[in-house]
Amino acid sequence: DVKVTQSSRYLVKRTGEKVFLECVQDMDHENMFWYRQDPGLGLRLIYFSYDVKMKEKGDIPEGYSVSREKKERFSLILESASTNQTSMYLCASSPAYSGANVLTFGAGSRLTVL
Amino acid sequence: GNSVTQMEGPVTLSEEAFLTINCTYTATGYPSLFWYVQYPGEGLQLLLKATKADDKGSNKGFEATYRKETTSFHLEKGSVQVSDSAVYFCALPGAGGTSYGKLTFGQGTILTVHP
């Protein structure tokens, strides 16, 4: 069964800590995404990547960075976590071109920043 | 840019009731439209899609028709089950084209079905 795996389901961090959220997909997809999910706001795109070492900002990139050194892995980095980054983070992937809009999501990483 | 507005809910129904979740969109041209579903403790998954006007997407008893006249893509199911309890998201490709899969999602509608 193909999937997107997010390494941590639940994390609790302190303000100012550096946080890494890891995501791995086994479908050889070109595109990978990080979304943030908050009640009443739906999903908002933080960053996406359409190839190794390529990245583009989404709608809410401030306070985040990403890394894609290998095709299957896409990491989200919070350089200095803040309480307003407490949220559910969803990683997704999709193939290039045809089928690009059919995203496969991971189960999510719920981050609490104290 | 493209945007989508969906009925916020939450929606609470009894088993076998009829379901409608409204979704309207604003877009340039006629992009593909999607419904994604998120079951408790899981990530989102594609429920159904429609790629052009008047298309009807269907899956698992759910249907949605792409209506360009009313810019709507309402989700319907004739008889819901407890297992349909989930969060439902309407979505369409965001600004900048479709090739990279950048979707814009609605706010999500929480559906709870009681026995």
Angle value at C-alpha B39, between A94 and B37, nearest 5 degrees: 50
Cα A12 from Cα B80, distance rounded (Å): 37
Cβ contacts (< 8 Å) between A108 and chain B: which residues? 43
Instruction: Search chain B and give the residue with CA nearest A102.
Output: B46
CA distance B17 to chain A (A): 25
Contact A11, A110 (CB under 8 A): yes
What pLDDT digit, counting tens, does each position of B18-54 carry?
999 999 999 888 889 999 999 998 899 999 999 999 9
The pLDDT confidence band at residue A81, using thresholds 50, 70 and 90, is very high
pLDDT of residue B98 exceeding 70: no
Q: What are phi and psi of B81, to 5 degrees?
A: -120, 160
Q: B36 contacts in A (CB within 8 Å)?
A: 103
Give the minimum alpha-carbon distance from A114 to chain B in angstroms, rounded to a whole number.
Answer: 23
How many percent of chain B have pLDDT more than 90?
79
Query: Cβ distance B102 to B2 under 8 Å?
Result: no
Q: Is the pLDDT of residue A24 over 80?
A: yes
Residue of higher predicted confidence among B9 and B81: B81
Q: Residues B47, B53, B54, CA angle at the centre, nearest 5°?
A: 80
DSSP assignment of A57-89: E-S--TT-EEEEEETTEEEEEESS--GGG-EEE
